Structure 1
């Protein structure tokens, strides 16, 4: 038994809306994946940046400790030289050099201490940073697997829904098919509208009682206001 045209329109609307939603979800997938990849990349940079900071601090500590040893050796030489100076002018100049060396030594000691404190803080945080990076990788792996599974389900649903839509559209009478195809090409899923509570659900225009009766009996109608193909939906 051939279904009423209004029943066909109802099913075509349902299926085309569903297919449209499925395609949107499929198209959104690559954007979501890219966003998650960017988040993973941020976590990777944070992890590697943390390790690089520790490496840089260790290098700075070694360099400053080397400079400190050189400064201490120079200071010792200056103080030794001070003992053999007899000229007052040379003596004052040497005292000035010693003062500068001591100032540099103090600055290096402060810098080394600050580096050691920062290095201890960064080293203590390494375990948490590593844990966060490992968790980010694990989360991404799970997301990627679930995304692939979801994509496969969406594609299967899309294929089955398209096949079902084709079966329904094959039942559209020949005298309506050209108008149907034209409206669908122009409006997609919005080419249809249910009539509920006596109103077109597409544009909220009131539909006459006579049109509603004809829709219920299977006569094809379009909304006189928005042009959508109508079908009757039971009032809630």
Structure 2
């Protein structure tokens, strides 16, 4: 009976060791992924700051107000001729201003509109 218990203990110790090794591997992968994500976040944040610094000064205050109020939902892509935030149809004048790279806010939801880079010459 004692031998049977000793065999069980040995098996459990082996299982514990395997589980600890697997946990260590998972922790290593998580740390690597975290480092990659933190690096990507730093790059994206720097790109955002650079883009924000290029905004015209007369427009910057309104952009800051919307960005502060809406956070990550402050920007909306133009989808066809509608706001990607609320799907409200945009006026021809708004589309013209967007095509001339002028800042345009959706009159319905207040998002800053932008033309996606992959519009394919719409």
TM-score by length of 2: 0.82
User: 1:170 corresponds to which residue?
Assistant: 53
Partner residue of 1:186 out of 63, 69, 72: 69
**Separation of aligned partners in 1, 2:4 and 2:95:** 76
**Separation of aligned partners in 1, 2:109 and 2:5:** 66
Q: Is the 8 A contact 1:220 1:230 kept in 2?
A: yes
Shift of 1:121: 5.8
RMSD: 2.2
> Which string of whole-angstrom CA distances, capped at 9 and with x for unpartnered residues, describes residues 69-110 of structure 1?
xxxxxxxxxxxxxxxxxxxxxxxxxxxxxxxxxxxxxxxxxx
Larger radius of gyration: 1
Does 1:130 find its partner at 2:16? no
Does 1:209 find its partner at 2:92? yes
**Separation of aligned partners in 2, 1:174 and 1:180:** 10
Runs of 4+ with >4 A deviation? 119-124
User: 1:141 corresponds to which residue?
Assistant: 24
Shift of 1:222: 0.6
Shift of 1:227: 0.3
> Which string of whole-angstrom CA distances, capped at 9 and with x for unpartnered residues, describes residues 113-148 of structure 1?
xxx4xx676544434322221111001111222222
The 1:219–1:122 alpha-carbon spacing in structure 2 relative to 1, beyond 3 Å, is same
Which structure 1 segments of 5+ residues have no match? 1-115
The 1:212–1:123 alpha-carbon spacing in structure 2 relative to 1, beyond 3 Å, is same
User: 1:159 corresponds to which residue?
Assistant: 42
Using CA pairs below 8 Å that are at least 6 residues apart, which structure has the higher relative contact order?
A: 1
Structure showing the higher helix proportion among its residues:
1
**Separation of aligned partners in 1, 2:59 and 2:5:** 74
Shift of 1:189: 1.5
User: 1:94 corresponds to which residue?
Assistant: none
Which structure 2 segments of 5+ residues have no match? none
Count of matched residue pairs: 119
**Separation of aligned partners in 2, 1:122 and 1:199:** 71
